[in-house]
Amino acid sequence: MSTTQILYTDEQGDVKTAELSEKDLRAEDRLRMLLSEIYAFLRSQSLNRSYATRNLDHYLSEARDDLSKRRVLLDSFGSPAGTRPSRLERLEILEQAFKDLYPELKRRAEAKDRGDEV
C-alpha cells in the first residue's frame, strides 16, 4: 500500500508533515491532490513550450527595444496622446542634469571647506 506525505499546520501554527496511507485519505482529498498534480504538470508543459519557442535573439531584441524605443502614450479613448522618452533618452537627460549641477555642488563644497558662507 502506498503512502502520501502531506503538510499540515498544528494548533501552534507550526508546519508539520505526516505520512498517510491511501485508506486514510478521503476520496475528495485524493481528488484534490490528483487535480493539483495534473495542474502542475500542464502548467509546467505550457511554460516549457513558451520558453522553448524563444531564443537569446528574442530576449536581446526586447531589451534593445526597451532601452531605445519611445513609448506611445494613449488617452482614455485609446488615441495617441504623445510619446514618452526611451529609457536611454531618460538616462541621458539625468546624466546631463547631473553634469550641469556638478560644478555648482563642487563650488559650494570648496567654499564650505574654506569656511566661506555658502
What pLDDT shows up at residue 40?
Answer: 84
Average pLDDT over residues 40-58: 77
The more confidently predicted of residues 114 and 30 is 114
**% of the chain at pLDDT higher than 90:** 13
38 and 88 belong to one structural domain: no
Q: Are residues 85 and 67 part of one domain? A: yes
Q: Is 31 a residue whose pLDDT tops 70?
A: yes
Asked if 77 and 98 count as a contact pair (C-beta separation under 8 A), the reply is: no
How many folded domains does the chain comprise? 2
Domain region containing 42: 3-52
Q: For the chain, what percent of residues have pLDDT higher than 70?
A: 94
Q: Which three cell numbers stand for residue 2?
A: 502506498
Please give the average per-residue pLDDT across 7-35, as a whole number.
76
Are 65 and 45 found together in one domain?
Answer: no
More confident residue, 92 or 27: 92
Predicted confidence band of residue 118 (pLDDT cuts 50, 70, 90): low
Q: Give the tens place of pLDDT for each residue, 82-104.
A: 888 888 888 899 999 999 999 99
